[in-house]
Amino acid sequence: MHTPPFKLKQKSADRAALNTDMYCLLKCAPLILAVAVCHGWLFGDFVEKQKELDEISLWPLPQKFQSSAVAFKLSPASFQIVHAKQSSAGPSCSILVNAFRRYFEYMFGDMKKHEKSRNKVYDSDLVELQVWITSADPQCDGYPSLQSDESYELSVDKPSAVLKAANVWGALRGLETFSQLVYKDDYGANNINKTEISDFPRFAHRGILLDSSRHFLPLKVILANLEAMAMNKFNVFHWHIVDDPSFPYMSRTFPDLSQKGAYHPFTHVYTPSDVKMVIEFARMRGIRVIPEFDTPGHTQSWGNGIKDLLTPCYSGSSPSGTFGPVNPILNSSYDFMTQFFKEISTVFPDAYIHLGGDEVDFSCWKSNPDIQKFMAQQGFGTDYSKLESFYIQRLLDIVTATKKGYMVWQEVFDNGVKLKADTQIHVWKERPQYQDEMAKVTAAGFNALLSTPWYLNRISYGQDWVNVYKADPQNFTGTDAQKKLVIGGEACLWGEYVDATNLTPRLWPRASAVAERLWSDKSVTDVGNAYNRLAQHRCRMVRRGIPAEPLFVGHCRQEYMGL
């Protein structure tokens, strides 16, 4: 009799694989590996410094990284993050001032600012981090975009460290890296080693999808996850904001959508003010907010607020009382979409909107005699994917008129809908194999985004982050030109089984594995090394208030103190 999981109590299969050896590794083999990977130079007393270096664990690993064992001390009382003299940004750049404060607090905790007891600066001190924005327009008041330059250079040497970036977006990434370099020695003093880093993302689009329709996610949870995203250098929040079960987006143009379509008309909605706050909170962290309004399927909740928007399904010759996808044969449907997306295009500043287009169920359309008549008139025969394309085509024209670009799920491409050249195709299906789909999409000249291997709502026992980590978006057969069309990927946490109670620990640090795949060099693939850094990185997230779950047996110096 075969009884797989319950056979061994503690010494489970994973444990055997990653057993005591792995466990020891955790304790004793710190950044050596990381440095080795990066071809760094090591100074003589490295081994003694090893223990302190335990705490560093850069995640995601920078592209070029050199560190030495020479350590400087940082005094929270005197250390400062300042604008470099040559910087084009200054004290009025709120995005940087906010970031200085945030990272100061991450590094030195809630230390009182007036504890300026220590005036003397020692020779071995690092007195400041200078942030030097080099381009004429630092983009202090801008929004991050697909084209944003996130590269930065960081040089840590006495008496000052210098962080150089073309604009604020690179500076934000560099501040995160700098904060990860600071560690406490055995006496609790803050240290940082002499370091040179030159860093940039491998992919421009590094996203997290959260689903606020299947379960409503209170603002607090969304904001906390934006914070965690910044800690992992993610730069896109794909907000799957509405779907069949509920419509929490409060529309000014069509207030009935949430009034009648949300789980509750005011406790379970996102007001315009909430949405603004999410966008601004994300902007402060260099994160784009791309909303998804998925049509024509996945729209059950829309039907509550908008009469005649959905197709009435028939049972025999009479309406059954249930409804299907958006009704594609009525002009009123397109009038609605025109007004609705006009609003969306002004509410969300990003250049892209995600239009969904996945999983359209044809059975309701098939049952409806008016639809049947329309099919005949249009000469579609019985090919309902032609009707779907007909709808999508008109929708794309509507959205194009708002000057927005669009992202769509792969079905829209698969069904041969005519797409603008800058359309991004979001690959999510397991069949056909995603490698084949990536090849097809890029061969047709479209930008591709990968999510298939990163459906983090799917859980299993053990260290599933390893497979997440191993997936590579460019791992398909194609030309260099095709590979270049892969702009990144997204980790998706669909909402069937997650809400505020379990979302954050389920997402982190599993999504961190995706973060490194999308940021770091292609060659960064050593799972053992990643384990060590990620275990520390998750403790860092815990220290910063994010309940990131453990990878395996072990402990954090400071355990999570929430619930």
Please, what is the minimum distance in Å from the beta carbon of residue 317 to a second copy?
24
Please, what is the minimum distance in Å from the beta carbon of residue 298 to a second copy?
12
- For a second copy, give the closer residue by CB, 228 or 279: 228
- For a second copy, give the closer residue by CB, 120 or 220: 220
| CA 352/CA 337 separation, integer angstroms | 16
| Of 47, 74, 41, 45, the residue nearest 181 (C-alpha) | 74
- For a second copy, give the closer residue by CB, 5 or 416: 5
Q: Is residue 296 reached through a cis peptide bond, with omega within 30 degrees of 0 on the bond before it?
A: yes
Please, what is the minimum distance in Å from the beta carbon of residue 321 to a second copy?
13
Give me the sign of the Cα torsion angle 47, 49, 52, 56: negative
State the catalytic residues: 359
- For a second copy, give the closer residue by CB, 356 or 505: 505
Please, what is the minimum distance in Å from the beta carbon of residue 188 to a second copy?
13
Please, what is the minimum distance in Å from the beta carbon of residue 559 to a second copy?
5
Which residues form the interface with a second copy (CB under 8 A)? 1, 3, 5-12, 14-15, 23, 214-216, 218, 220-221, 224, 245-246, 263-264, 267-268, 457-462, 495-502, 504-506, 542, 545-555, 557-563
Residues 6+ apart with CB under 8 A from 187: none
Q: For tokens 């200078």, name the residue.
A: 130
Alpha helices in 204-271 (DSSP H): 219-231, 256-261
At 401, is the secondary structure helix, strand, or coil? coil
Task: Reduce the secondary structure of 76-137 to three states and give it as a string.
Answer: CCCCEEEECCCCCCCCCCHHHHHHHHHHHHHHHCCCCCCCCCCCCCCCCECCEEEEEECCCC
Please, what is the minimum distance in Å from the beta carbon of residue 562 to a second copy?
6
Q: Report whether 448 contacts 471 (CB < 8 A).
A: no
φ, ψ dihedrals at 325, nearest 5°: -65, 175
Q: Is 480 exposed, middle or buried (0-12, 13-18, 19+ CB in 10 A)?
A: exposed
- For a second copy, give the closer residue by CB, 89 or 262: 262
Please, what is the minimum distance in Å from the beta carbon of residue 299 to a second copy?
15
| CA 46/CA 53 separation, integer angstroms | 9
Give me the sign of the Cα torsion angle 551, 278, 449, 150: negative
- For a second copy, give the closer residue by CB, 54 or 388: 54
| CA 285/CA 66 separation, integer angstroms | 26
Please, what is the minimum distance in Å from the beta carbon of residue 522 to a second copy?
29
- For a second copy, give the closer residue by CB, 15 or 470: 15
Please, what is the minimum distance in Å from the beta carbon of residue 95 to a second copy?
25
The two beta strands, 152-156 and 160-165, are antiparallel
- For a second copy, give the closer residue by CB, 255 or 554: 554
- For a second copy, give the closer residue by CB, 122 or 266: 266
Q: Report whether 402 contacts 350 (CB < 8 A).
A: no
**18-51 burial string, b = 16+ CB within 10 Å, else e?**
beeebeebbeebbbbbbbebbebeeeeebeebee
| CA 73/CA 99 separation, integer angstroms | 22
φ, ψ dihedrals at 129, nearest 5°: -115, 120
| CA 509/CA 553 separation, integer angstroms | 15
Q: For tokens 């003694």, name the residue.
A: 48
| CA 125/CA 76 separation, integer angstroms | 11
- For a second copy, give the closer residue by CB, 452 or 504: 504
Please, what is the minimum distance in Å from the beta carbon of residue 167 to a second copy?
32
- For a second copy, give the closer residue by CB, 347 or 500: 500
Residues 6+ apart with CB under 8 A from 238: 207, 208, 209, 210, 290, 292, 354, 490, 492
| CA 194/CA 189 separation, integer angstroms | 16
| CA 519/CA 174 separation, integer angstroms | 13
Please, what is the minimum distance in Å from the beta carbon of residue 243 to a second copy?
9
